[in-house]
Structures are given as C-alpha cells and as structure tokens.
Structure 1
Amino acid sequence: MEVEKQGLLIFPYNGNAVEALDCIGDSYRFIGFVDDTPEKMGVTPQGHSVLGREAFSKYPEAFVLAVPGSPSSYKSRKEIINNLGLRDDCFARVIHPAARVSPLASIGSNVLIMAGVVITSNAVIGSHVCILPNTVVHHDVTVGDWTLIGSNVTIAGNTVVAENCYVGSGSTVMNGLRIKSGALIGLGSNVIRDVEQDSRVVGNPAKILG
C-alpha cells in the first residue's frame, strides 16, 4: 500500500517559492503557498492555493519551506522566518532530484537546493539557505544560516560565507576567502579577497560599493 506523502506549505508566494515547486519531486505533497499579502490570496494562474498564516494551524502536520528574500530584503530573512513562530522540526529540506549533494556534505533545515547544484565533499550548508540553479559549492566550504546564493555561482574550496549574506548570480568566489555576515556580492562579480561585514561588493575584481 502506498504511503501518503508528507504535506508541504511554502512561504511566501514569491519567485523562489514558484521555482521551489520544480524541486519537490516525490518528496512531499504540495498543499499551497502561504503569504501575508491580501492581494495574493486565492488561486494562482497555475491552480495552486495561496493561503494566509492560518494554514500553519489548519495543517499542523505539514512541513514548511520558508524562502523569503531578495537582493533588497535579504537582511530581513532571519526576522521574517523567526516571526513565523514555527518549531525547528517543522521546516523542510527540499533538494531537486537533479542536484548532486555529496554524502560527505552537511545540509541544515529549511534549505532549498535547485536543479543542477553541485555540493561537494565536506561542504557545510547551514539552515534557512537557498541555492539557485547550477551553482557549485566546492570542498570544505561553509555557507552560514539565512544566506541566499544565486544561480551559476562558483564558491571555491575552504571558503566561508557567513550568516545572512547574498551572493549574486554568476559570481565566482576564490578559494580560502571569508565573506563576512551581512555582505552582498553583486551579480557577476569575481571575488578575490575577503569581504567585510555588511559591505557590498561588485565587479571583476569585486570592489566595495558606496
């Protein structure tokens, strides 16, 4: 007899959430999106429900994937997710079937890993992390909690990306560097030196903005 899949709610209804649908595979039974914006409530053009936060109590056994954040709002991710008031064991881990994660890597909770991502030996991916398609995280890299990593990013070995960072799509981070908490790396940057806390860098080679 087939066992019913665990239900999944995705918060909020944004671009990351829509892309997450492609990553679920056979792991979960998607229930719907959860959002705080009244204008988004109802049914999406694709036929998926958009519910309010009451869904968390309506479906108490469901797992939750929380994927808020963008280049302009990434620093608020920790506060937004904590304000959901959910237990740590409520959060899902969603890894696209076409991603390749080393059995020697460590992956936290509330993590979304999209198609084509490669995570190699001894990498440590914290909790509440999103990694977009076709990114490569090499050996012995640490990615801290609450961090967003764009698509087609390469993070070379022994690098540490601290908590609550944003690494823009198409960027490359050289081996052995330290990207400190709250930092933003702009699109297509080539990072060849450490990035200080809360700073913003962009370019080839990446330089501080503002």
Structure 2
Amino acid sequence: MPQKRKRYDKQFKIAAARVVLGGEMRAVDLARELGIKDSTLRRWAQEHGEMGDPRVNLVDGAFDVEARNRLWVDGIAYIGTGEGWLYLAAVIDAFRRKVVGWSTSTSPDMEQQELLLDRLLERVPEGAKPVLHSDMGWQYQHEKWTRRLKKARIAQSMSRKGNCLDNGATEQVFGHLKDEFFRGRTWPDFESFKADLDAYVVHWNTRRRQVKLNGLTPEEFRSQSLVA
C-alpha cells in the first residue's frame, strides 16, 4: 500500500489507483489514510487505472461531490401501467440532481441503453471526465456499454452486489418522479406517456425546486456554482 507523503508523483498515483481498483481498500478509507480528498483519489484511479471493470466501485457511497460533471449516477425506473411495464433509463448528476440524459422504452434492452448513451455523450462538456456509477445490472456489464464508456474516457463504477442503498441518488429522483408525475394517472398510449415524461424531466431540471439545492432548481444551482 502506498505510504503517506507530501508530494505525489505519477508512480505513486498509479500505485494508489491499483490499490483501489484491485479492491484492497475503499477509495474513502485510502484517501483518509493518505490525507487527501477521496475525489482526488477517484480521479487518480480514473486516470491511471483500467476503466470499464465491473468489479470496481469508485464511489463507495460518497455521492456528495464538489462540482458538476464529476459523478453521474445511472439507473432504471420500472413503471407499471394497465398496458404493461414502461422503463425509464436515466443518468443524474450527483452534484446538482439534474437529469443529464434519459430514454424511455417498453423494453429494458441494450437498444434503450445505447440510445441513452447517444444522448448522454452529446452532453459531455469538453474536458469533463465524469465517473458514471450504476448497480451491477447486466446492461452495465455488456460489452457495448463498457466499450463506449472507455472510448469516451468516462470511468465506470459499479455498486457491490446486493448493496441496494449504494444507488440512492437515482432512487431519490425516481421516487419523486413516481409521486409527482405518475401516481394516479393513466395514458392512452406509450407515445403520450413518453411525451409527458419528457416534459416532466424538463420541469425537474428547470422549474422543480429542491430542498437539497437550497431551494433552487438544478439549472439555477448550476448557474450559481458557475458564478461562485
């Protein structure tokens, strides 16, 4: 294990990254021992480690990040209707709770995930290198998913098996969505549902005020952070 020191050269960063990626220590614990921020250690793992390894959890429950586009959280909401199940795949910025990409489908297949990635990768700001965290669903271990993330230089992080609380950021957003948008409503067809859901996501990002963002919307919170 790397020893604490005042300055960190490239070889030291590589060694620390391997400790985290190899599962020897959690990023949060090693960062505390080295006297650095866990976000710094996650960045080292992203820069010097192997991305797209489904065994790696770069987040370890530390969803409180200091800036936008550092940590994105992925998940799928299962929405039951009288006509069957509908599926919302969404990626949320952990810093401002903004939905940065989403797709809706009647089947949770790779076609839906690739559409999500198409939309998501269009929105990655120049120079940004976010960590994308998810559970261990089969979609996130699929070769098409891991290959495209690696090509885009987005580090993949996955929860440990059976840790249902480690994806709390998406579950909070999905919970509000079901309470505020879906519960008690019906739609004549999938296209009507999809159009209304798209409108709700825009509402969530631009008009829905949130206690965790000091009463601001995700877009207002983003503007405030840019000024600060």
Give 1 or 2: higher strand fraction: 1
Larger radius of gyration: 2
> Could you state the TM-score of these two structures normalised by the residue count of structure 1?
0.28
Give 1 or 2: higher helix fraction: 2
Higher relative contact order, chain-length normalized (CA < 8 Å, sep 6+): 2
